[in-house]
A and B are shown apart, each in its own frame.
Chain A
Amino acid sequence: MRITQGCFSFLPDLTDDQITAQVEYMLSRDWAVGIEFTDDPHPRNTYWEMFGHPMFDLKDAKGVMMELEECRKAHGESYIRLVGFDATRGFETVMMSFIVNRPPEEPRLHMQRTDVAGRSQTYAWDAR
């Protein structure tokens, strides 16, 4: 099942040129770019693992693309996303994030319905 989260996830996968253009945009806004990966794409799994350090003070997208290449080599079977972090006071948050790598076989998000006290039911999602 195709996981959709972050920017552009309803579009076809971005090519490296398109990713470069997006990174150029992030750098033009003075955002720090980070690379994160995970094997658990559950929507509640907010904190993915960071690959290397977040990249401050970069001038050109090539630096990020080199790092992404490394990450793909190491975690090609995982989800990888790029995040743009705005350190400006008042924001201090992720301004944009998008998936740049997916595993060849994506897990399914499965909904589990459970009967609890009385006739009420609870619902939970898990990736399997």
Chain B
Amino acid sequence: MDGGESADLAASTAEHVDLAAEYESSGVAEVLRELDEELIGLAPVKQRIRETAALLLVDRARRSLGLTQDTPTLHMSFTGNPGTGKTTVALKMAGLLHRLGYVRKGHLVSVTRDDLVGQYIGHTAPKTKEVLKKAMGGVLFIDEAYYLYKPDNERDYGQEAIEILLQVMENNRDDLVVIMAGYADRMDKFFTANPGFRSRIAHHIDFPDYSDAELEWIAGSMLAERNYVLDKGASAALADYISLRRNQPHFANARSIRNALDRARLRQANRLFEAGGGPLDATALSTITEADIRPSRVFSGGLVIDRPAAEGT
């Protein structure tokens, strides 16, 4: 380092950065608070996001003092089972990165294989580029990213999309952040087959399954949002439902619960209607009882089409 530079460094270190004030004024605090309040459970995810936010905040402070210049790698991978909140967290992450000034617009473009990979030769590149252009200045969320790579079919066009993605992830680090999501085991295989991705993705965040208690809590908040309540019998039935549903095929955590509640609302409406439709008060209209939950097929061993498979025919 020559004399000029060290003088610069000395001059710049004389300035101060108040991290706590920065934390509040940048709006990061607000996003993290929202994350805490709106998302139930997911403690390790929240911890990782808090750490990432701290890192970025410090990095930004360092940059404002001229200690660093290059953009950190921000591409992420979210692994976890379906319905564990990956998309929701990605949306929050886009907000967070926008507040911190790492993406200019802060929108989230959510895509799957179909949006990136074409059906015939020469179709894939324009399609992928189209999506990338839309995602510029924001976050590109690739759901079920492992589908991009199909090793059993060497003529698959997914490889072309992967190459374009890798190139943009490297060259346009200032312009967009890519988040890839999918099941943990399949994503591992995907990254092993495409080492380029592993090295370009800095943050791997693992989403755990929700516990039964957390799912009940989630159900409660979903219902509260729509002004429904569960009576005592229904709460017990829901608890049974959750523990049974977990062991049946196609369990998708919070998404399964949302679907179950939608069906319970359907049965409740039907019940009220068939009971004669006499004068009903708000309580009757918004209470879900045990009778609305117990008829679920989950209590009789799941969907008919799934049963023979489960018995191992």
User: Which residue numbers of A lie inside 8 Å of B, CB to CB?
Assistant: 52-53, 55, 57-64, 66-67
- Measured as residues with beta carbon below 8 angstroms from the partner, the interface class of chain B is 10 to 19
Q: Is B133 an interface residue (CB 8 A)?
A: yes
Contact B126 A60 (CB under 8 A): no
- Contact residues in A for B137 (Cβ distance below 8 Å): 59-63
> Smallest CB-CB separation from B107: which chain A residue?
A59
Q: Determine whether the beta carbon of B130 is less than 8 Å from that of A62.
A: no
Q: Mark B86-129, 1 if CB is under 8 A from A, else 0.
A: 00000000000000000011010000000000000000001001
In angstroms, Cα B122 to Cα A81, docked, is 26
Q: Number of A-B pairs whose CB atoms are under 8 Å?
A: 40
Instruction: Give per-residue flags for B166-179: 1 if the beta carbon is below 8 A from chain A beta carbons, else 0.
Output: 00000010011000
Considering the chains assembled together, what is the distance between the CA atoms of A26 and B175 in angstroms?
19
Q: B175 touching A60 by the CB < 8 A rule?
A: yes
Determine whether the beta carbon of B126 is less than 8 Å from that of A58. no
Task: Identify which of residues 124-153 in chain B touch chain A, using a CB-to-CB cut-off of 8 Å.
Answer: 126, 129-130, 132-134, 136-138
Report the bound CA distance from A59 to B137 in whole Å.
Answer: 7
Assembled-state Cα–Cα distance A37/B104 (Å): 29
CA A43 to CA B176, docked complex, whole Å: 39
Do residues A52 and B126 form an inter-chain contact, with CB atoms below 8 A?
A: yes
User: How far apart are the CA atoms of A61 and B174 in the complex, in Å?
Assistant: 13
Chain A residues with Cβ below 8 Å from B172 are: 62, 66
Best-surrounded residue of A53, A66, A67 (most CB of chain B within 10 A): A66
B105 touching A60, Cβ below 8 Å: yes
In the bound assembly, the distance between CA atoms of A15 and B300 in angstroms comes to 69
Note all chain B residues with C-beta closer than 8 A to A55: 133
Task: Assess the A59–B134 pair: CB atoms within 8 A.
Answer: yes
Pairs A–B under 8 Å by Cβ, sample size 29: A57-B134, A58-B133, A58-B134, A58-B136, A59-B105, A59-B107, A59-B134, A59-B136, A59-B137, A60-B104, A60-B105, A60-B136, A60-B137, A60-B138, A60-B175, A61-B136, A61-B137, A62-B136, A62-B137, A62-B172, A62-B175, A63-B132, A63-B133, A63-B136, A64-B133, A66-B129, A66-B133, A66-B172, A67-B133
Q: How far is the CB of A16 from chain B (nearest CB, A)?
A: 14
User: Please, which residues of chain B bring their CB within 8 A of the CB of A60?
Assistant: 104-105, 136-138, 175
Q: With A and B bound together, what is the CA distance between A59 and B130 in angstroms?
A: 12
Closest A residue to B126 by beta carbon equals A52
Complex Cα–Cα for A69 and B107 (A): 24
Most buried by B among A53, A57, A58, A64: A58
Most buried by B among A53, A55, A59, A67: A59
Question: Please, which residues of chain A bring their CB within 8 A of the CB of B130?
Answer: 53
Distance of A58 Cα from B176 Cα, bound (Å): 13
| Complex CA distance for A53 and B176, rounded to whole angstroms | 21
* In the complex, chain A residues whose CB is within 8 Å of the CB of B134: 57-59, 63
Which residues of chain A are near B107, meaning CB under 8 Å? 59
Instruction: Output the least CB separation between A117 and chain B (Å).
Output: 54
Q: Which residues of A contact B175 (CB under 8 A)?
A: 60, 62
With a 10 A CB-CB cut-off, give which of A52, A61, A63, A67 has the most chain B CB atoms.
A63
Q: Which A residues lie within 8 Å of B138 (CB)?
A: 59-60
